[in-house]
Amino acid sequence: MLAVPLILLMLVACQKEYSGKLVQWGDTANSVDTTKLKRNNIPYEIKDGKLYIPKDAVSDATYCCT
């Protein structure tokens, strides 16, 4: 019974916090699967039809979304 809360605590503690400057990711917001970004806890913003992610998240986004 103790294993489940311990595993959840480890997952939360290991989540990465991104804080870099936002950079454009992909050609348009429609060309990016935001579901994969959400699933991998990568924050994003959509401005003027373009999707932006923190610069320090680019390598993680490349790994999870390509």
Q: Give the per-residue pLDDT at 1.
A: 55
Q: Give the per-residue pLDDT at 37.
A: 94
- The mean pLDDT values, 10 residues at a time, for the chain of 66 residues are 55 68 92 92 95 95 86
The CA–CA distances, whole Å, from 56 to 2, 5, 7, 16 equal 34, 30, 26, 10
What's phi and psi for 46, nearest 5 deg? -115, 125
At 55, which amino acid appears? K
At 28, which amino acid appears? T
Structural domain total, the chain: 1
pTM strictly above 0.75: no
Structural domain including 25 reads: 19-65
DSSP bridge partners of 63:
none
Q: Give the per-residue pLDDT at 39.
A: 92
Q: Is 42 inside a domain boundary? A: yes
Q: Is 8 inside a domain boundary? A: no
What kind and span of H or E run contains 37? helix 34-39
Q: Is 44 inside a domain boundary? A: yes
Q: Is 26 inside a domain boundary? A: yes
Round to whole Å and give the CA distance between 54 and 42: 8
Q: Is 57 inside a domain boundary? A: yes
